[in-house]
Amino acid sequence: MVMPRPPRPSPTAPSGGRPPRPRFPATLPVGTSVGMGGRPASAAAARAQTAVPPAVAGVGLDSAAVRQAMVRRLAQQGVTQPAVLQAFERVERHCFVDSGLAAQAYEDTSLPIGWGQTISKPSVVARMLELLCEGQTLPLGRVLEIGTGCGYQAALLSHLCREVYSMERLRALHERARDNLRPMRIPNVHLIFGDGMLGYPKGAPYAGIIAAAGGESIPAAWLEQLAVGARLVAPAELQSGQQSLVVVQRTAHGFERRVLEGVRFVPLKSGTA
């Protein structure tokens, strides 16, 4: 079994008399407030400008070379945002799948994570993250993720945003993501068990919203919680039986929508289970 990386030291408490942020990961029921210290913008901005490092020697799933090979494939497939590519190089995907599937972790394929859910293909996740960041100043501010799943995309978002609120409606998956992410001690990700269709008004407005499940339309609550100038990326079933990737940009005058390529995500559902 591949052992997780040793814990990283916790950040010091923010100045200005505010209480320290909750230790990662914070399990937040809907309606619970959270401190918003955030990661220093200078460090995250520096990461965003760093190019993908060259391949290094090594073997095994815990080798950086394995992840970098995946990153090179993503670049060959058209992903150009350096910050997105570097996030994929840093986050160990094999830590988010069952040990029996670990050998497939860095292939461009979706994998089951239990309870009828999947971890999306790296190329699809990279495409959505790049759309979220397109034309924006990095790091993004506070971002809402709908559908935590196993926690992999939340870990990637932590390298692109100052703060990530990630919602999951299935308690078992919420707890699995918590277990997956806890050893990594990522300070700017907060996990919320709740109905993602309602969004999370406590954290609004958001600098971005990204969803890992698709319904017949984009929920009105998500649009209301999107900041002016911010972007939403989500699948939606605009035609019967056919999902498409949709990008919604909020402007001072309303919403601008782009419908892109066809995709296939699990259906968006309301309530918790």
Residue from 224, 225, 265, 270 nearest 246 by CA: 265
- Give me the DSSP letters along 54-111: PP----STTSHHHHHHHHHHHHHTT---HHHHHHHHHS-GGGGS-GGGGGGTTSSS-E
Q: How does DSSP classify residue 211?
A: E
Q: What's the rounded Cα separation, in Å, for the pair 65 and 84?
A: 17
- Are the beta carbons of 162 and 139 closer than 8 angstroms? yes
Task: Say which of 120, 158, 240, 270 is annotated catalytic.
Answer: 120
| Maximum C-alpha span of the chain | 53
- Give 114's contacts (C-beta < 8 A, 6+ positions apart): 98, 172, 173, 176
Q: Is 158 a catalytic site residue?
A: no
Enzyme catalytic residues? 120
